[in-house]
């Protein structure tokens, strides 16, 4: 296995990580990313296999658990109840309870709200050049998830700030200051959500918090701490991917000279899937190894960690023709942007719905939409999204 070095905070990599992924792919299906000390997979077949193989998982094995630094205890106290970081049986219980509330019917019913909100946000666009990320891509998903949970959408900006601070814990540029900001945000977010959970226990409403409180499986319900963590997870994950995908998708469409013609009812699904495949919002996701395993020509040992490069897997020429090209006419085929296996993103249906509803409205209402400045990606790795997308309407 070949070793390669590439700083994930290098400005050139931040703007375009794909040449490094191709260099890594050329060495084989797995390589050692020296900067992380992590074996990483680049092929669609190996990434998909790791994500579906129960010998790999998210929960840290007992032998690999390090003492949690004192200043980070509040953050990891919340993570301890996150289904994203757990394996069966706790993961099975939590996910089944969440899915009893987060139903496909409830999500589908949001389509008119997403459409109305899209129109309202477009109505507020300024006549001069403006940042589409802040005016549209951020506001849409955070407002929808607030409405879904049943918390005031007026608090959306505050929750967005807390969420951005918390996900800083997963970014390559993480520092002590980042950690302290994440912990402060976590404590504020927990206090905020605890108040709403307690309020809903006494005064149920037609919202997801009430449904989560009522959800029951095998005589079990979510504890208050599990409820709070789940709400925070749904809000963090429920907007993070959609913000980045909306921005990356509009960028790809405008740079490719595409518009409303590829967002018609018969073509929008293919276009959205191509947006997700070609420039996904999350690039690196890790798994722990639970038993000695041979995979991808490599011998993994119990307690190892492996990186799944979702963005590299999505451009694997063994899985897609001319994979670097953005092609909204590409036949729909499963990609790995939302993961696979038992940790497949529970919010994927909502993210897809938001994209399928909002993008056609944006390009129908703004047929002359054009880039007004070169798009720039933010230094967010393992995530991949624009810091701004300056556009003009015509």
Closest CA to 381 of 40, 14, 23, 31: 14
For residues 337-360, average pLDDT: 95
CB atoms within 10 A of CB 349: 16
| Predicted local confidence at residue 218, as pLDDT | 65
| Predicted local confidence at residue 45, as pLDDT | 97
Domain regions of the chain by residue span? 3-392
CA–CA distance from 268 to each of 46, 200, 215, 390 (Å)? 29, 38, 34, 24
On the question of pLDDT at 132 being above 90, the answer is yes
Helix (H, G, I), strand (E, B) or coil at 324: coil
Tokens of 183: 């912990």
24-33, 93-102, 122-131: range with lowest mean pLDDT: 93-102
Closest CA to 282 of 339, 332, 226: 339
Q: Measured between alpha carbons, how far is 260 from 249 in angstroms, rounded to an integer?
A: 13
26-40, 144-158, 184-198, 216-230: range with lowest mean pLDDT: 216-230
| Predicted local confidence at residue 307, as pLDDT | 98
1-10, 146-155, 162-171, 229-238: range with lowest mean pLDDT: 229-238
Enumerate residues 6+ apart whose C-beta is below 8 A from 321.
none
Q: Measured between alpha carbons, how far is 281 from 269 in angstroms, rounded to an integer?
A: 18
On the question of pLDDT at 72 being above 90, the answer is yes
Instruction: Provide the CA 245 distance to its chain's centre, in angstroms.
Output: 9
On the question of pLDDT at 238 being above 80, the answer is no
CA–CA distance from 42 to each of 80, 274, 280, 307 (Å)? 29, 19, 14, 9
For residues 152-164, average pLDDT: 90
Q: Measured between alpha carbons, how far is 116 from 356 in angstroms, rounded to an integer?
A: 14
Structure confidence at residue 225 as a pLDDT band (50, 70, 90): very high
CB-CB contact of 132 with 146 (8 Å): no
| Predicted local confidence at residue 143, as pLDDT | 93
Q: Measured between alpha carbons, how far is 323 from 22 in angstroms, rounded to an integer?
A: 11
Q: Measured between alpha carbons, how far is 245 from 137 in angstroms, rounded to an integer?
A: 8
CATH number assigned to the domain with residue range 3-392, chosen from the 4 options 1.10.8.60, 1.10.1040.10, 1.10.630.10, 3.60.10.10: 1.10.630.10
| Predicted local confidence at residue 394, as pLDDT | 75
Beta strands in the chain (DSSP E): 3-4, 30-33, 38-41, 56-57, 130-131, 284-289, 293-295, 298-300, 305-309, 370-371, 376-377, 386-388, 390-392
| Predicted local confidence at residue 187, as pLDDT | 96
Q: Measured between alpha carbons, how far is 28 from 41 in angstroms, rounded to an integer?
A: 9
| Predicted local confidence at residue 217, as pLDDT | 62
On the question of pLDDT at 216 being above 90, the answer is no
| Predicted local confidence at residue 236, as pLDDT | 84
- The pTM of the whole model exceeds 0.85: yes
CB atoms within 10 A of CB 357: 22
DSSP annotation of 309 reads E
% of the chain exceeding 70 in pLDDT: 99
| Predicted local confidence at residue 88, as pLDDT | 95
| Predicted local confidence at residue 158, as pLDDT | 92
On the question of pLDDT at 219 being above 80, the answer is no
Q: What is the mean pLDDT of the chain?
A: 94
């Amino acid at each position: 296995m070949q070793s390669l070095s590439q700083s994930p905070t290098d400005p050139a990599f931040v703007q375009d990580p794909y040449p490094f992924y191709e260099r890594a792919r050329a060495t084989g299906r797995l390589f050692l990313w020296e900067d992380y000390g992590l074996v990483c997979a680049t092929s669609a077949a190996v990434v998909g296999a790791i994500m579906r193989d129960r010998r790999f998982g998210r929960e840290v094995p007992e032998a690999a658990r390090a003492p949690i630094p004192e200043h980070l205890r509040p953050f990891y106290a919340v993570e301890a109840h996150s289904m994203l970081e757990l394996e069966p049986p706790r993961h099975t219980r939590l996910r089944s309870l969440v899915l009893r509330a987060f139903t496909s019917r409830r999500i589908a019913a949001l389509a008119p709200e997403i459409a109305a909100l899209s129109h309202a946000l477009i109505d507020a666009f300024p006549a001069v050049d403006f940042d589409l990320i802040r005016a549209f891509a951020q506001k849409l998903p955070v407002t929808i998830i607030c409405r879904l949970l049943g918390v005031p959408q007026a608090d959306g900006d505050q929750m967005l700030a807390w969420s951005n601070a918390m996900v800083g814990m997963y970014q390559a540029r993480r520092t002590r200051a980042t950690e302290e900001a994440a912990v402060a945000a976590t404590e504020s977010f927990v206090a905020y959500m605890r108040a709403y959970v307690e309020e809903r226990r006494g005064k149920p409403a037609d919202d997801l918090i009430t449904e989560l409180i009522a959800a029951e499986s095998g005589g079990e319900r979510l504890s208050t701490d599990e409820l709070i963590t789940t709400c925070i997870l749904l809000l963090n994950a429920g907007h993070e991917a959609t913000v980045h995908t909306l921005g990356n998708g509009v960028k790809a469409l405008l740079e490719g000279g595409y518009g409303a013609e590829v967002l018609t009812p018969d073509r929008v699904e293919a276009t959205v899937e191509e947006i997700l495949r070609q420039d996904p919002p999350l690039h690196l996701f890790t798994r722990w190894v639970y038993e000695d395993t041979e995979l991808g020509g490599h011998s993994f040992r119990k307690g190892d960690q492996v990186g799944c490069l979702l963005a590299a897997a999505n451009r694997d020429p063994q899985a897609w023709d001319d994979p670097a090209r953005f092609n909204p006419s590409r036949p729909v085929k499963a990609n790995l942007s939302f993961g696979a296996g038992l940790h497949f993103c529970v919010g994927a249906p909502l993210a897809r719905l938001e994209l399928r509803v909002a993008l056609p409205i944006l390009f129908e209402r703004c047929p002359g939409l054009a880039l007004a400045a070169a798009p720039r990606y933010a230094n967010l790795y393992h995530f991949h999204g624009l810091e701004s997308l300056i556009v003009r309407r015509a």
